[in-house]
Amino acid sequence: MGGFVSTCPGLEDGAIADNILLIGDAARIIDPITGGGICHACRTGMYAGKVLTECAKTGDYSKEALKPYEKMWRDRMEDKLYRNWWAKERLATLDDETINKLMKLISTADIKNVTVYNLLKAIKEKFPKVVEGFEDLI
């Protein structure tokens, strides 16, 4: 499966089923703002390897046996991916004037480490309405 920018907030039913475990893009574990997925694919691949090693020892690849994988990736990545999905959805509804104000803010803000989180944090401080509805994730 090739990469794509997520248009919905991930797989609600999870990335596992009996004898099935999805990682990276196949599990829709993609950053909705940047489209980035290589580090997510590597991380979920590592988690999958750990869980599948245990499954191989027992011969059990049931959904129940694969649940630790689901917990691992969700604990590490789900909140960030969900926050970025909300940010993408919200930013897509803004008018040109507001986007211009945000670009001016970002270009003049003293952001030491440019990350989606830090950009959203700067936006939240100056334009709290833009992050309304997902501000608790910032």
If the chain, 138 residues long, is cut into consecutive pieces of 10 residues, what is the mean pLDDT of each piece? 53 86 92 89 97 98 97 94 89 90 87 88 88 83
In whole angstroms, give the CA distance from residue 117 to residue 138: 7
Give residue 23's pLDDT.
Answer: 95
Q: Tell me how long the chain is.
A: 138
In whole angstroms, give the CA distance from residue 10 to residue 44: 14
Give residue 36's pLDDT.
Answer: 86
The Cα-based distances of 70 to 25, 39, 75, 126 in angstroms read 15, 17, 8, 36
